[in-house]
C-alpha cells in the first residue's frame, strides 16, 4: 500500500498559523489532493505578497491551482459562510471542482440559536456542535449539503478518493482547530470543541486508512492562546486556562520580544517603562469572532501528551518572532542567521523535551516568512 498521505495538525489550542503552513506545503510540494474536514467556527488564513485569504470550509490548498479538492465527512457547512468564502476567493475557485462527501450536513439558524441557549463554556456559537448532535441522533430534520457552483456532493466520493490515493504522490489532510480543544483527550472539558482533534480523526473523517500515512507536521507556537472570555454575541463566558501554565499579557509578549527575554520573567510593573520604546504590537484577534485572544506560557506536559497521541515526524515552530522581534519577517536558512543565546537555548530545550526535530521557524504571516532548519 502506497504511503502518500501527509497531515498538518495544530499541536496546541488552535491559531498556530496552520493556514500559512498548509498553503506553503501545498505550493512547495505540489500537493495532488487536499482534504478538509472543517466547521465554520474556525478560520484558516493564508497570506502571500500581502494578499490575505480566509478559508473556513474550502481547503486552503486551493491556492495551488493544480490541487484536487475534497471536503470530507467530518465537515459541517454553513451555506452563508461557504457562499461568501467562494465569492471572496472566486479568482482561484471559479471553474474548479470540489468533491464533497454525501454525509456533510448544513447548519441552519435553529442550530445557532440552540447553542446560544445551552452553551456556557467557550464557544463561537456557529452552530456546528448542535448540527453534529442532530447527525449523531439521526434526526430527520437534518439537511445535507447538495451543491454550490463547482462544489458538489458526490455519492462516488470514496471511489474518486481511492483513485487519487492509488495514483498520486502527495495527499494532504488539512487539520482544523487544535489538539488542546479535543473533546476527549485534551483534559480541558468543557472548554473544548465538539469533536476529537487528532490525526486519527482526520484520517477517519476523510475515509483513509492509517496505513497510508507518511508524515505528520505539527504546528506549534512558543506561547499558546485561547479564545476571549467575551463572545461575539455579547456573552461573558470562561474559555478555560491552559493546563498549569501561567496566563500572560500581550504587553509582556511585546516587551519580552523587544528585550529578547522570556516574557514570564518580566514584571508587569515594569511594562510601562518600555512603552515608548516599542513600535511592534503582537496582539492577536480571532479570525472568526474578532475578539482579542488570551495568551499563555507553554505547557510542556500538555504538548508532550499531544505529541504522544499524534506522533508527528517534525515540528513547525510558528511565531518565532515572539521570542525576539529582530526575527520578525526573516526568511532563509538556519545556517545563514544568527540566533542570540536565549533563542538558541530555547530551541535546544524544546527539542530535547519533545524529542521531535524543529524543521521550520515561522517568523510572520506571509508564506515567505520562515526559516528552514536543516540541522542544528
The one-character DSSP state at 348 is: H
Catalytic residue among 15, 62, 176, 228: 15
* Closest-CA residue to 37 (of 203, 266, 219): 203
Shortest CA distance to 157 belongs to which of 9, 334, 240, 33? 33
Report yes or no: 153 and 102 within 8 Å, Cβ to Cβ: yes
Cα distances (Å, whole numbers) of residue 95 to 89, 190, 218, 328, 373: 12, 42, 32, 37, 38
Q: Indicate the helix (H) or strand (E) that contains 154.
A: none
Cis check for the bond before 30: say yes or no (omega within 30 of 0). no
List, in sequence order, every residue forming a beta bridge with 248; answer none if it has no partner. 295
Assess whether 198 carries a catalytic annotation: no
Q: Which of 308, 31, 90, 75 is nearest to 175 (CA)?
A: 75
Contact, 174 vs 8, CB < 8 A?
Answer: yes
CA dihedral 279, 283, 286, 287 (to 10 degrees): 20
What Å distances lie between residue 369 and 70, 309, 321, 326, 331, CA to CA?
28, 29, 10, 13, 5
Catalytic residue numbers? 15
Amino acid at each position: 500500500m502506497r504511503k502518500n498521505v501527509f497531515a498538518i495538525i495544530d499541536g496546541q489550542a488552535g491559531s498556530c498559523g496552520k493556514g500559512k503552513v498548509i498553503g506553503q506545503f501545498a505550493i512547495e510540494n505540489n500537493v495532488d489532493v487536499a482534504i478538509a474536514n472543517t466547521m465554520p467556527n474556525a478560520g484558516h488564513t493564508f497570506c502571500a505578497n500581502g494578499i490575505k485569504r480566509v478559508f473556513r470550509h474550502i481547503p486552503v490548498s486551493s491556492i495551488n491551482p493544480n490541487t484536487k479538492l475534497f471536503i470530507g465527512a467530518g465537515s459541517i457547512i454553513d451555506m452563508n459562510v461557504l457562499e461568501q468564502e467562494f465569492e471572496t476567493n472566486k479568482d482561484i475557485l471559479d471553474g474548479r471542482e470540489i468533491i464533497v462527501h454525501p454525509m456533510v450536513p448544513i447548519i441552519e439558524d435553529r442550530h445557532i440559536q440552540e447553542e446560544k441557549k445551552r452553551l456556557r463554556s467557550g464557544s463561537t456559537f456557529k452552530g456546528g456542535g448542535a448540527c453534529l448532535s442532530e447527525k449523531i441522533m439521526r434526526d430527520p430534520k437534518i439537511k445535507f449539503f447538495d451543491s454550490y457552483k463547482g462544489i458538489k456532493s458526490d455519492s462516488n466520493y470514496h471511489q474518486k478518493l481511492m483513485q487519487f490515493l492509488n495514483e498520486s504522490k502527495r495527499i494532504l489532510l488539512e487539520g482544523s482547530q487544535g489538539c488542546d480543544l479535543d473533546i476527549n483527550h485534551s483534559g480541558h472539558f468543557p472548554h473544548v470543541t465538539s469533536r476529537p482533534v487528532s490525526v486519527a480523526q482526520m484520517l477517519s473523517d476523510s475515509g483513509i486508512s492509517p496505513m497510508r500515512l507518511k508524515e505528520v507536521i505539527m504546528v506549534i507556537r512558543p506561547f499558546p492562546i485561547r479564545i476571549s472570555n467575551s463572545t461575539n454575541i455579547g456573552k461573558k463566558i470562561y474559555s478555560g486556562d491552559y493546563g498549569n501554565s501561567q496566563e500572560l499579557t500581550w504587553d509582556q509578549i511585546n516587551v519580552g520580544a523587544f528585550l529578547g527575554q522570556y516574557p514570564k520573567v518580566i514584571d508587569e510593573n515594569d511594562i510601562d517603562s518600555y512603552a515608548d520604546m516599542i513600535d511592534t504590537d503582537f496582539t492577536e484577534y480571532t479570525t472568526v469572532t474578532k475578539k482579542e485572544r488570551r495568551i499563555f506560557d507553554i505547557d510542556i506536559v500538555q504538548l508532550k501528551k499531544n505529541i504522544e497521541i499524534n506522533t508527528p515526524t517534525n515540528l513547525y515552530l510558528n511565531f518565532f518572532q515572539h521570542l525576539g522581534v529582530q526575527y520578525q519577517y526573516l526568511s532563509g536558512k538556519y545556517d545563514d542567521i544568527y540566533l542570540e543565546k536565549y533563542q538558541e537555548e530555547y530551541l535546544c530545550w524544546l527539542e530535547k523535551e519533545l524529542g521531535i526535530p524543529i524543521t521550520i521557524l515561522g517568523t510572520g504571516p506571509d508564506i515567505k516568512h520562515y526559516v528552514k532548519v536543516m540541522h542544528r
